[in-house]
Amino acid sequence: MSDIKYSAEELAPLILHADNHLLAVSKPAGLLTQDSGTGLRNMEDWAREWVRVDKNKEGNVFLNAAHRIDKAVSGIVLFARTSKALTRLNEDIRQRNCRKIYHALVEGAPGKPDAELIHWLSHEHHCAEVCREGEKGAQRAVLRYRTLKRLGKLTLLEIDLETGRYHQIRAQLSAIGLPIAGDEKYGARQVSKRKDIALHHARLEVTHPTTREPIIIQAPYPRESDWWAFKLK
- What pLDDT shows up at residue 1? 46
Q: Any bridge partners for residue 215, and if so which? A: 206
CA distance 63 to 54: 14
The CA-to-CA distance between both ends of the chain, in Å, stands at: 40
Segments making up each domain of the chain, as ranges: 8-218
List the Cα angle 139/182/202 in 5-degree steps: 65
Name the fold adopted by 8-218.
Answer: Pseudouridine synthase (3.30.2350)
Provide the pairing of β-strand 22-27 with 127-131: unpaired
- What pLDDT shows up at residue 83? 94
Element (H, E) at 90: helix 83-94
Per-residue pLDDT of the chain in tens (233 residues, 90 and over written 9): 445 677 888 888 999 999 999 999 999 999 999 987 777 889 999 999 999 998 888 778 899 999 999 999 999 999 999 999 999 999 998 888 899 999 999 999 999 999 999 999 999 888 999 999 999 999 999 999 999 999 999 999 999 999 999 999 999 999 999 999 999 999 999 888 777 899 999 999 999 999 999 999 999 998 877 787 654 54
In tens, the pLDDT along 119-152 reads 999 998 889 999 999 999 999 999 999 999 999 9
Q: Are 104 and 75 in contact (CB under 8 A)?
A: no
Q: Are 201 and 14 in contact (CB under 8 A)?
A: no
- What pLDDT shows up at residue 228? 76
- What pLDDT shows up at residue 9? 84
